[in-house]
Amino acid sequence: MLNPLLQKFETPFETAPFRRLIPAHFKPAIIQAIKQAHTEIDQIVTNPKDPNFENTIEALEFSGALLDRISSIFFNINSAETTEEIQKLAREIAPLLSDFSNDIILNKKLFDRIKLVYAQRDSLNLTLEQDTLLTKKYKNFSRNGANLNTKDQDILRNIDKRLAQLKLQFSENVLAETQAFKLHLTHKTELKGIPENAIEEARNKAKQANVKGWIFTLDYPSYHAVITYSENRKIREKIARAYGKRGFQKNEHNNEKIILEIAQLRYQRAQLLGYSNHAEFVLEERMAKTPKKVTLFLENLLEKAIPAAKKEYSMLTAYAKKQGIDTLQLWDGPYLIEKLRKERFNLDDELLKPYFKLENVIAGAFKIAQKLYGLQFKKTKAIDRYHPDVNTYEVIDKHNNHIAILYTDFFPRKGKRNGAWMTSYKNQWIKNGSNSRPHISMVCNFTKPTADKPSLLTFREVTTLFHEFGHALHGMLANTTYPSLSGTSVYWDFVELPSQLLENWAYEEEALALFAKHYQTHALLPIELVNRIKESSNFMEGMATLRQLSFGFLDMAWHGENPTPITDVKTLEKQAFNKTQLYPEIEDGCMSTAFSHIFSGGYSSGYYSYKWAEVLDADAFELFRQNGIFDKKTADNFKKYILSQGGTDEPMNLYKQFRGAEPDINALLRRAGLI
């Protein structure tokens, strides 16, 4: 049987042939692609000609393309449509890829050629992008063990293989814990306050499970509906405790030992490579550069946020007492904040949701991209999908040129991890004069439509969609020569700029007018509600900022020091949260054991980057506000210097070309109302 992953994709725009794929195709295809990549590397190493940029650096950059493509498809499926079979394959495939990566990084003959080219870099007359690629290739090897002796290289190999396995196990445990919990309610009185669409979805889940009543889960739309709106405090507590205990229960899905081992292995790896700790290793290739600078950044924001946060918490505590709650707990916060927001601004999610029908919000995001960057999104059924919920679009520019393929996947289901993310099935690059365009996917978990109602988004979900669409634009508008510098292949503390910047349009009347229409009457969102959205945007901002900072401090606690003395996950977490703790401690809950961003995602030593990028986006949006949110020149410059450039230059250089100056931290503090 022919393996479709190893054939040329005879599909529109060479998109992934999902309809022809079965799980059994993946491992043989990856093994074959690894062999092919090794052959390509051998051709570079055995080239009798003297090493130069083209026959060594450029050849290395375009090697392993088949492996990259197949791996992208596989691991994206493992996130969005996994099964036990796929998860088993992932555990088998991860070590193979780790071994392959180390085979390349630790190939002495290959590194010798790279070093020779790097030594000549000042005399090679390279373009900026070529020079960046050369520097990154050299650093990638030197920072990952190429200069180590054979014994230490073997140690590094074993560490990397073990880390790949542990990260997968961590993710699988979080997913299993998320899906295992069912809040089964049988009395209508228990539903008081919960939005009707969430109740309808819970009723459908109960029917699927062949039980009476309603089933709520830890999938974000369901969890959010209960924790934010349920008037039954015991029910809020039950679901909050379940959410907080993921990976922290004494069962087969406990993540405590896994976390301790990941932290220890990352530290050992950094030490082996000559760094004090994992954060120092990671941050060398970030805008922040050092753990000290990150800590100072977090503490600077903490100093500004904590007076506001404490004042807000005192106000919330007093409000809780009026509601008959003597001790304010974590499961009371979202509910009381939403209730207080409604009282203060006469505004709540249920009032706004009818104006945010999912299809309208998507169309609005597309229209904003058209007004800013001249893009059009043509829905097509000609492209294979990995699930019926997925929609596919061909993206074209105003001259009808093909720009990208976009997949959208918006509803929770079994086998799909929680949260929201953007990813790529194929990068963009230019080779032999041909510009190979990207295939981008944005994935969220919104409430599914029911027989009676379409999918209606909360305002927070609107900003989430805009956030991921901002990432998608960064991927779709990529225009670089080399795939490893393309699109979102930038420093982690820079990658959130396009996504967080686009969220700003969701607060602007001129943008809201494009899509915020009542799903039944088609009336535009009234101007008084627009004004209330803007007025309420900074509501409880001190507490929200403190929450984000607490995650940044926790990340640095795990990765910015020697973790060897850490024997208890919960104790470490308490110490990290000490400066930011407001609510009483929940002893049976733990953030770390489900903190996927830093233990299975790419944010280890990088969670601070969300706030870092907020400084960038607040500063950048001030320019859009000053010139007009759809100002063509400002949008063209953002596309030219940020969205299309990927990682071809230092992020600060790119930002200064766009803005004319370095970002001003006070832009964020002004927007947040903290100064």
In 427-510, which ranges are E strands? 429-431, 434-436, 439-443
User: Token digits for 608?
Assistant: 């601070």
- Cα separation, 421 vs 407, in Å, equals 12
User: At 665, which helix (H) or strand (E)?
Assistant: helix 665-672
- Calculate the alpha carbon distances from 290 to 47, 296, 605 in Å: 39, 10, 10
User: Token digits for 552?
Assistant: 């940044």
- Calculate the alpha carbon distances from 207 to 25, 201, 215 in Å: 35, 10, 9
Contact 178, 610 (CB under 8 A): no
588-591 contacts: CB < 8 A, separation 24 or more? 588/241, 588/244, 588/245, 588/248, 589/240, 589/241, 589/244, 589/245, 589/248, 589/330, 590/244, 590/245, 590/247, 590/248, 590/256, 591/244, 591/551, 591/554
- Cα separation, 647 vs 604, in Å, equals 20
User: Token digits for 95?
Assistant: 């070590």
In 197-244, which ranges are E strands? 214-216
Active site residue 201: no
The bridge status of strand 429-431 relative to strand 391-396 is unpaired
In 136-181, which ranges are E strands? none
Q: How many residues does the chain have?
A: 675
- Cα separation, 659 vs 497, in Å, equals 13
Which of 201, 338, 394, 468 is labelled catalytic?
468
- Cα separation, 377 vs 639, in Å, equals 18
- Calculate the alpha carbon distances from 335 to 221, 240, 323, 440 in Å: 15, 12, 11, 36
- Cα separation, 109 vs 115, in Å, equals 10
User: Token digits for 26?
Assistant: 């993946």
List, as one string, the DSSP characters of 232-292.
-HHHHHHHHHHHHTTT-SSSTT--HHHHHHHHHHHHHHHHHTT-SSHHHHHHTTSSS-SHH
- Cα separation, 667 vs 279, in Å, equals 27
**Which of 260, 246, 262 is closest to 164 using CA atoms?**
262
Q: At what angle do helices 220-229 and 196-208 cross, to 10 degrees?
A: 130
Q: Which residues of 559-596 are buried (b: 16+ CB within 10 A; e: fewer)?
A: bbbebeebeebbebbeebbeebebeeeeeebbbbbbbb
The bridge status of strand 439-443 relative to strand 402-409 is parallel
| Sequence-separated (6 or more) residues with CB below 8 Å from residue 317 | 328
Ramachandran class of 140: left when φ > 0, alpha when ψ lies in -120 to 50, beta otherwise: alpha
The separation between CA 174 and the C-alpha centre of its own chain, rounded to angstroms, equals 16
- Residues carrying an active site annotation: 468
